[in-house]
Amino acid sequence: MHIAIVGAGSLGLLFAAKLSSVATSIEVITRTGMQAEVLRREGISIEKEEVVPASKFTIVSYEDKESKSGEEAVESPLDFLLLTVKQTAIDDELLSWIRNRISKKTTVVCFQNGVGHEEKLLGCIHADQLLLAVTTEGAKRSGASKVAHTGRGTTDLGFSRDVLPKEQLNTQKIFAGLLEKAGFAVSLSKNMNTKVWSKLIISSVINPLTAILQIQNGQLLHSSASQELMLDLYQEGMTVAKAKHIELPDDLWEKLQLVCEKTAENQSSMLQDLLHHRSTEIESINGSLLRMAEQLKLELPVNRSIYRIVRVLENK
């Protein structure tokens, strides 16, 4: 299996390191040339677990992607291309690079937090080639080549289209098998919309609150004031979901609290981004909810304020 991973953030590094034991080749595409150099020198280390040597990977920097993409495409046609970037990074340039890099037999697997990724990708690839992944694996990057596996979770996997030809079902199973062999728990889903939206609602509560309050996920449950804020955000998100007729589990509020408990010691990805002065996923999470609410003529006052505060913090 030939795999490429676009995006060497915490999830990208974790999946690249783990999948290197089961894939024929792994290509890691970084955003900066600087990170590519470090990875070529040091490989990837998963803290307290293992160091995967650089020889296991082909490292390509997105900065010199144009010169590299042509050659690589001829050398190793890809079976799977994993996208572990923020939704805002999926721009025309990246889409055209993906189009050049993949063939008809490549399946693109989009790991997403928030919404909007699928719409962008479907402008460049066919729905039969797009697998969506929503994961609760916890990962924290602590350097250009270092990542900690901070919590074991499950990865939900499903095609973007509901009705699938047999061949696609097979591809889904092959990828699930690879993830399982690499040590991840996988659940195949026929209704990814529900999974994507459940994660969207959960992230719209945990991520901005932990980022603004600068606390670990579990600490959200420690005060009644933060629980009230959580409930406000949750209810606003649910209003949008209901207006859009999205099917969601009845116990999503309990699930949200369970995520806080299970990831109690973790820093949410949004808090990690702010602490490292990186842009956050606020646009694809609370920003998306606000844009949908506007179209539906709904008011989300708590989301609006929280969104604005995170935008201010991003520019600090």
- Report the residue number, 160 or 263, with the smaller CB distance to ligand PAF: 263
Q: Which of 87, 107, 193, 217 binds ligand PAF (CB under 6 A)?
A: 217
Alpha-carbon span 75 to 12, nearest angstrom: 22
Judged by CB under 6 A, the residue of 20, 263, 288, 303 near ligand PAF is 263
Shortest Å distance, C-beta 80 to ligand PAF: 22
Nearer to ligand PAF, 73 or 309 (CB): 309
> Binding to ligand PAF by residue 81, rule CB under 6 A?
no
Task: Work out how close the CB of 263 gets to ligand PAF at its nearest, in angstroms, rounded to a whole number.
Answer: 5
Radius of gyration in angstroms for the set of CA atoms belonging to the chain, rounded to a whole number: 19
Q: Is the dihedral of CA 278, 14, 113, 116 positive or negative?
A: positive
Q: In the bound complex, what is the minimum distance in angstroms from residue 89's beta carbon to ligand PAF?
A: 16
| Cα dihedral sign, 62-67-70-76 | negative
Alpha carbon distance, N-terminus to C-terminus of the chain: 43
Q: According to the 3-state scheme, what is the secondary structure of 152-216?
A: CCEEEEEECCCCCCHHHHHHHHHHHHHHHHCCCEEEECCCHHHHHHHHHHHHHHHHHHHHHHCCC
Contact pick of 28, 202, 211, 310 for ligand PAF (by CB under 6 A) = 202
**Given the rule CB under 6 A, which of 81-89, 154-162, 195-203, 222-230 is the region that contacts ligand PAF?**
195-203
Bridge partners, residue 109, by sequence: 82, 131
Q: Which of 172, 203, 257, 303 binds ligand PAF (CB under 6 A)?
A: 203
Binding mask 264-303 for ligand PAF (x = CB under 6 A): ----xx----------------------------------
Cβ closer to ligand PAF: 18 or 86?
86
4 binds ligand PAF (CB under 6 A): no
Of the two residues 252 and 259, which places its CB atom closer to ligand PAF in the complex? 259
Q: With respect to ligand PAF, which residue has the nearer C-beta, 124 or 206?
A: 206
Q: Which is nearer to ligand PAF, 193 or 263 (CB)?
A: 263
> What does the block give as tokens for 193?
């919309």
How, if at all, do strands 130-135 and 107-111 pair? parallel
What's the closest the beta carbon of residue 112 comes to ligand PAF, in angstroms? 10
The Cα–Cα gap between 110 and 124 comes to 13
Q: Which part of the chain contacts ligand PAF (CB under 6 A), choosing from 68-76, 226-234, 243-251, 263-271?
A: 263-271
Quick one: CA torsion of 254, 259, 193, 78, rounded to 10 degrees? -160
Using CB under 6 A as the binding rule, whether residue 206 contacts ligand PAF is answered as yes
* Burial class (CB within 10 angstroms; exposed 0-12, middle 13-18, buried 19+) of 162: exposed
Task: List strands edge to edge, sheet with 57-61.
Answer: 57-61, 25-30, 2-6, 80-83, 107-111, 130-135, 154-159, 185-188
Residues that bind ligand PAF (CB under 6 A): 113, 199, 202-203, 206-207, 217, 259, 263, 268-269
